[in-house]
Amino acid sequence: MSRSRRVFRPAALAVFVIAGALMVTAAPGAQPAAAPVEGSADWVAARIDARDTGRDSRLAMTMRLADRQGRTRERTLVITTLAAAGARGDRVLVRFLGPADIRGTGFLVWEHAQKDDERFLYLPALGRVRRIAGAEAQESFVGSDLSYEDIGGRRLTDYTYRMVEATAAWTDTQGASHPAWRIESLAKDAGARYPKVQSLVRKDAFVIVEAQVFNRRGEREKQYTVSRLERPGGIWTVMDATMANEATRTRTTLVVTEARYNTGLAEDAFSRRELEQGAR
């Protein structure tokens, strides 16, 4: 791959994002050993990775958290992204606008080609930026059913891919059926918390519209479902999706209220200084 892309950004969920191998990235400047055979699982994964998500994006959204009793909490946030350029990887900045108990919280991701990605969290109560260590990457992101790693992304080459079903279908909320592939992603890291994900990929969009995430015991622990898929600015975007955790019986829903692409964002909008000052 010529640059790092995000198969699944939180924003486009395109972030949801998001669990297990839902979001993967290619290392900037990395070249595949050989072109995958068209129609193979490797080819599908590469096409997801390479699909157009704009040079930059700004997505306003609502996050709804539901606990095991069905009680819900609602948060508003903005996710901005900047696509990789040259040797630099993608940049992602998440900023919470409300309610009061989380307002000002920010999360910043810098991708890198030759070293581990960097993740930074700003909590207003602490008044400083804290680096998220690698050991914390799979912990819950601000109490949601997503992890820090879900937001930050994973490299395409960290997984192997297998075609489960080449002629699957996805039915949208209007009842229309769309051709899809079902592929399996297996983590090469034996210690991965979620080593296997089975994803349903819509063929005309190369977007993951459903996924089942399995833990190390081989149990399905999370389920991701897309409810609404649109093309603002000509770019396929997941507008409404839910990640449900079957172990905790909780779920997180993200609804995009505004999606803008190619707005002219610069790299300085993704600095640690901006993370802290912008949150204020």
CATH number (3.40.50.300, 2.50.20.10, 1.10.1370.10, 3.40.50.150) of 41-258+268-275 reads 2.50.20.10
In this predicted model, what pLDDT tens digit does every residue of 170-224 receive, in sequence order?
Answer: 999 899 999 999 999 998 988 888 889 999 999 999 999 999 999 999 999 999 9
Which tokens is 257 given? 């209220």
DSSP E strands, the chain = 56-66, 72-82, 91-98, 106-110, 118-123, 128-131, 159-171, 177-187, 196-202, 207-214, 220-230, 237-245, 250-261
Which range has the worst mean pLDDT, 128-132, 138-142, 204-208, 222-226? 138-142
Q: What is the pTM of this model?
A: 0.84
Mean pLDDT on 105-133: 86
Contact 242/13 with Cβ under 8 angstroms? no
d(CA 183, CA 44): 8
Report pLDDT for 4.
40
Q: If DSSP codes are grouped into helix, strand and coil, which group holds residue 111?
A: coil
In this predicted model, what pLDDT tens digit does every residue of 43-88 receive, in sequence order?
Answer: 999 998 888 889 999 999 999 999 999 999 999 999 999 988 877 8
